[in-house]
Amino acid sequence: MTKLLQPDLCVIGAGSGGLSVVAAARAFGVSVVLIEKGKMGGDCLNYGCVPSKSLLAAARRAHEMRNATPFGLQSVDPVIDFAAVRRHVRGVIDSIAPIDSEERFRDLGAQVIRAHARFFGKDTLEAGGFTIKARRIVVATGSSPVIPPIPGIDTVEVLTNETIFDVAELPRHLAILGGGPVGVELAQAFRRLGAQVTVLDRGRILKKEDADLADVTLASFRRDGVDLRPNTTLSRVEKHPGGLRLHLASAGKPSTLEASQSTLEASHLLVAAGRRPNVTDLGLEAAGVEFNEQGIKVDNSLRSVSNSLIYAVGDVAGGAQFTHAANYHAGLVLRPILFRAPAKVRPEIIPRVTYTDPEIAAVGATEEEARMLPGKHRVLRWQIADNDRARAEHETEGFIKVIAGTGGKILGVAIVGRNAGELIHIWALAIAQNLSLKDMTSYVAPYPTVGEIGKRVSVSYFEAMTRKPIVRGLLGGLRLFG
């Protein structure tokens, strides 16, 4: 016989979004049951953001050692101790884990159940020998990597972001299927740590990024020695002595209809071909919750369109698959759940960053999206090479692009360059607060900082005004008064 729990709130999933909901609800004294069948901290802590950025940090140090000559230092080829690199990655995870731990959330007063959850009513579910009947339920079950149905792929060992960090030795030749952020970040990291790396994508690599920005980053990849193969399909996989043989079909020239066939031998295959929201085996049908391959169907307040007692946050709600998006969602759903206040998702204020070197960061509309918006817009650019701090650090690659609407309204911003993810902060704030380029010219930027490029590009919007005859005539008239 199961024990009945009747909390104000039940949260399914102890990833970033779910934990944020629980912590905030407990801060207000709301009774909460948290259910998690896997690892506390979810994908970000254990398989995603934390380990990948830790690996990238190690790879950057190796790259800097090889490229110290511009600073008057002797460049050296680093000795890579891959076991030590793995300990570094594990150490970072372990240092953050207590913040997401079961013990911490029990101390906050939440009841934590480590089991699989399954609905059997619109407000009722079972997990770990408990029946939970909650006033409100938040589904924060995240997403999982997709393994495409490629012939032979089920006969070989395939790595995903959930298993790549378990590899004990540095791969001799890592083939990566998928040229999105996950694939390219790991490609650059492993290449800089000494592995041979090939990236395969059936379309353009970094196809969701502005092509102008992607080209800058991919040029860096080529200098690093990453083998980039866009417009290439993996048609079959088979075992091969020493690893795998991949059968490839590369798109031909526009004037031909036939694709060229080739093979690639690799020691490891990493699949980074997208993620699928975790909606199966939850019994959502019993709760009357509509869902599809994109996730739970929600309205603009993240409430289920078919069950008003249930909300979804993070990857399972569809849309942007970022940890910071999940945290943003968590703050939104607490408004109606705790205070019965309205909430509305604003997708345009969620920044996106690809943590390569150079990084790509953006917020708001892309240049292509701006073309479809009503009214006129202008595209402004400022080269990082024109920045004094960037010159001092020999990090002059990249630029900022601002899409400006009528009256200097900021429609979108994209930056490619070292630490672009840090530089996008002020622009995310600007779009969230509906600031204009005039506002962006009004603050004092510390010198010398790379962040000055933001003010410089904002000022450039008004330069055309200085050349207008009416403005020059006004200035001439004012001179008559002394």
pLDDT of amino acid 467: 64
pLDDT of amino acid 465: 65
Sheet (strand 136-139) strand order? 111-113, 32-35, 9-12, 136-139, 310-312
Distance between CA atoms of residues 231 and 432, nearest Å: 36
| DSSP secondary structure, 392-409, as one string | HTT----EEEEEE-GGGB
Distance between CA atoms of residues 148 and 177, nearest Å: 10
| DSSP secondary structure, 39-92, as one string | -TTHHHHHTSHHHHHHHHHHHHHHHHHHT-GGGT-----PPP-HHHHHHHHHHH
Query: Helices (H) and strands (E) in the chain — how many of each?
Result: 16, 25
pLDDT of amino acid 463: 83
Place of tokens 């997208």: 274
List of residues 6+ apart from 341 with CB closer than 8 A: 335
Distance between CA atoms of residues 188 and 62, nearest Å: 12
- Can you say which residues are annotated as belonging to the binding site for FAD? 53, 141-143, 315
What is 153-274's CATH superfamily?
Answer: FAD/NAD(P)-binding domain (3.50.50.60)
**Angle, CA of 256, 265 and 233, to the nearest 5°:** 35
**Angle, CA of 46, 49 and 51, to the nearest 5°:** 55
Tens of pLDDT, residues 145-194: 999 999 999 999 999 999 999 999 999 999 999 999 999 999 999 999 99
pLDDT of amino acid 284: 98
What is 3-144+276-347's CATH superfamily?
Answer: FAD/NAD(P)-binding domain (3.50.50.60)
Q: Which of 266, 274, 264 is nearest to 233 (CA)?
A: 264
Describe the crossing of helices 49-66 and 181-192 by its angle, rounded to 10 degrees.
Answer: 40
Percentage with pLDDT > 90 across the chain? 91
pLDDT of amino acid 74: 97
Phi, psi of 218 (to 5 degrees): -70, -25
CATH 3.50.50.60 domain residues, the chain: 3-144+276-347, 153-274
- Can you say which residues are annotated as belonging to the binding site? 53, 141-143, 178-185, 274, 315
pTM of the model: 0.93
- Can you say which residues are annotated as belonging to the binding site for NAD(+)? 178-185, 274
Assigned CATH class of 358-463: alpha beta
pLDDT of amino acid 298: 98
Percentage with pLDDT > 70 across the chain? 95
| DSSP secondary structure, 202-215, as one string | SS-TTTTS-HHHHH
255 pLDDT band, cuts 50/70/90, is very low
pLDDT average, residue stretch 239-266: 80
Query: How many CA atoms does the CB half-sphere of 433 hold within 13 Å?
Result: 11
Q: Is the pLDDT of residue 475 over 60?
A: no
Q: Is the pLDDT of residue 281 over 60?
A: yes
